A and B are shown apart, each in its own frame.
Chain A
Amino acid sequence: MAEEHFLKDYVEGKPGFKPEAWYNPYGDCVVYQTVNEAIYADRLDSLTTLYRSAIDDRVIGFQIKGVKEILRALKCDIPVEGTGSESEESISLIALVIAACKLSHDREANKDQLEALAELIPHMAHEKVPIHHAA
């Protein structure tokens, strides 16, 4: 696709990829992705959607929505790490995944989906999500 990108005036430098979790304040959701490929959605339950590679169907990430509600509901259960400054607070990505699974009102996930999600754990073992926008 050689056509010039219509948003080119909004960006500078080189495009890139970082396999880091991000709290998206516009959607009140956390997204995480390990590979820079097009994805399609595979709903796990009411809060978590797996990202599958559009190339070979493997699970390469996920989205957790309703993060503010999760933080409110499990405030005492989720270890929030920080140095006392609200702007530096972050949460363990794994803790957020577990909390989302715990709070989801439905249980649609099947064994294959859960195993695929579990395979991401080594990638996200030390991943923290800055949450100051979600507070």
Chain B
Amino acid sequence: MDSGTPGYFEYRAIDPRTPDGPPVVVRFARDLIVWYYENRSVDYENFRCVRHVLDNTERIFRGVRDYEEGELSWWCYTGHPKEWCIRENVFGPFPRRSMVFAVYLNPNFELYTFRAEKADPQQPACPINWRSRYGELIWPKSIS
């Protein structure tokens, strides 16, 4: 999927407000992409992991911020990419057992950051301490 809005790359993902309904459009601002390319080239390579997580989402959390503005929610999508860039021109397997890759979206479903997090040993799809860090697990509604 390519840009439908000038200045943005757009991609479809599960809409956490209606997970069984149509997907939501997630937007990557061009200036964010360019900033990563010019300033954090390793992270720029890991935009591939962002795409993987949006395509293969394992968990979605709401309430990333302590003080959310009204009904607006900040979102965290998680998943496990197969590999990632660990330093310039060096790629390796993503540590699937100990880490989970987290993609953070603001209330406008604009990407603002992404990174690996230590995984909850009991729930490898969840970042460690997720129950206290996030407001609510949105998708799936229940986990064993």
Counting CB contacts under 8 A, is A111 at the interface?
A: no
B1 closest partner in A (C-beta):
A6
Known: A10-B9, A15-B37. A39 touches B110 (CB 8 A): no
- Distance to closest chain B CB from A35 (angstroms): 9
Known: A5-B48, A38-B116. A20 touches B86 (CB 8 A): no
A42 partner residues in chain B, CB cutoff 8 A: 118
Residues A1-17 near B (CB distance < 8 A): 1, 3, 5-7, 10-11, 13, 15-17
Counting CB contacts under 8 A, is B111 at the interface?
A: yes
Q: Is the CB of A11 within 8 A of B39?
A: no
Contact flags (1/0) for B46-65 with A, using CB distance below 8 Å?
A: 11100100000000000001
Known: A29-B112, A40-B118, A66-B66. A18 touches B102 (CB 8 A): no
Q: How many residues of B contact A (CB 8 A)?
A: 47
- Distance to closest chain A CB from B118 (angstroms): 6
Q: Is the CB of A16 within 8 A of B133?
A: no
B48 partner residues in chain A, CB cutoff 8 A: 1, 3, 5-6
A10 partner residues in chain B, CB cutoff 8 A: 9, 30, 33-34, 37
- Distance to closest chain A CB from B86 (angstroms): 4
Known: A5-B48, A105-B66. A39 touches B39 (CB 8 A): no
B interface residues, Cβ below 8 angstroms from A: 9, 28-30, 32-35, 37-48, 51, 65-67, 83-88, 91, 95, 99, 102, 104, 106, 110-113, 115-118, 127, 129, 133
